[in-house]
Chains A and B, each alone.
Chain A
Amino acid sequence: MFQSLGKYILLLSLSFKKPEKFKVYWAEVMREMVSVGIGSLGIISIISVFIGAATTIQVAFQLSSPLVPRSIAGSISRDSNILEFSPTISSLVLAGRVGSNFASNIGTMRVTEQIDALEIMGVNAPGYLIAPKILASITMVPLLVIISIALGITGGYIACLVTGSITPADYLMGVNDGFDGLTVRVALVKAFVFGFIIASICSYQGFYTTGGALEVGQSATRGVVFSCVWILFADLMITSLML
């Protein structure tokens, strides 16, 4: 385990060495940003709306007492979306979508000697392949999380309209009531850290792939599993430190 940790840290330090030509690396960062951001927008939108709607219905169901104001369901739904569902669930989904793509992409380049070709040319392969992915993830995952929060709250509103579990007016009152900006800051810190975890762990797994097609698949699976575990661990740590 310590050997793997050492290799991981060494790979990250190599990834952030001075690039041979900034322009070429920048183009690569932009390409990865489009892949991570635009490429994941569809799935993140779908899960956010559904999770937001489901959360609102469940909270409204649990708070059916006449002593509790109905609008409280909106507040709980909002905070749940901001603090947990949008950053964590979105990142777990992104680990599957983006992380597996990173690991299999780099792993395939390793087993087909494309990484050797880069090194022969004098290119710092970790810098060219991994740094753009990390930079793209730590910028695009927070943006996706912001969109996810907005869509999650919208999903809750749609659920109110469709099911009538609480009135839309009560829901909106709850959403606006007692908002604390700290929750958004926590969500963004989580998104930033989770983006880093997804890109770095999956890239590491891909970079040290040995063998053939079978091992590329195994690397992608390992990357996703380790990313998910570390996302949940980091979630706990950030929550306990910031709240």
Chain B
Amino acid sequence: MIEIKDIYKTFGDNDVLKGISATFQTGKNNLIIGGSGSGKTTLLKCIVGLHEPTKGKVFFEDENFTDMDFTERVPIRTQIGMLFQNSALFDSMTVEENIMFPLNLFTNQSIAEKRDRANFCLERVNLKDKNKLYPAELSGGMKKRVGIARALSMQPKFLFVDEPNSGLDPKTSILIDDLIQELTTEYEMTTVVVTHDMNSVMGIGDHIIFLHQGQKWWEGSNKEIAHTDNKELNDFVFASKFMQAAKEKL
């Protein structure tokens, strides 16, 4: 479980986050949604420690992550897996080396054990036999899946995903969403996904928080989202004619 309490983040005069609190439960897909510039990615970066919140605290399993220094955070960070918007694979390494990288640094496994783990992770994301390819040789969807495989290599308790569907075709997007859903349930992870993709919202949104102007505007599940009377959320979710028509059928 991850708990965030009263998170503020300011860049110069710009208040990006204004007092956001939420609890992300284990074994669930927790979605952070909102329009561009609403502070979704900033919130995610505050949670994982890439940005320090101006005010507020983040707790991982009741441990105060915000007040820890870099060294104290390492044991928690080794339990975190993250998929970045552009996958952020290391260009100079092969797929296998990317997946083995955290294992090389933080475990004492033998090369054979690390290779086995890399093969298992690649198989889990349906990328068997792609070990020796470099990131430049992969498609967008494959890069995302390698990113997920790398995130899984250390058997994380917490999975963070930033815009998993950006730049992907609808079919691949659904594959990635399904994979995130399966892995969250299978490994009992606390998954936090930042997205503005409505297919993801409706498909995997066990728990959703909607950000608007840097504040938590709405909280609920994908089952509740269709029946909300929150104007800003309705404007965001049902902006397209297709979604409006879908809502009318519900």
Contact residues of A with B, CB < 8 Å? 20-21, 24, 108-109, 112-114, 116-117, 119-124
Contacts and interface: CB of A to CB of B under 8 A. Distances in A.
Contacts of B94: none
A120 B80 contact: yes
Interface in B53-94: 70, 73-75, 77-78, 80, 82, 84-86, 88-91
B203 to A, nearest CB: 25
Contacts of A109: 90-91
Contact of A117 (B49, B84, B106, B154): B84
Contact of A122 (B45, B84, B91, B106): B106
DSSP majority for the A interface? helix
Given A20-B105, A20-B106, A116-B50, A122 B77 contact: yes
A78 B84 CA distance: 55
Contact of A116 (B75, B84, B106): B84
B237 to A, nearest CB: 28
Contact of B48 (A20, A108, A114, A120): A120
Interface in B88-134: 88-91, 101-102, 104-106
Given A117-B84, A120-B50, 6 more contacts: A21-B105, A24-B104, A113-B85, A119-B77, A120-B77, A121-B106
A24 B101 CA distance: 9
A114 B91 contact: yes
B7 to A, nearest CB: 18
Contacts of A113: 84-86, 88
Interface in B1-49: 45, 48-49
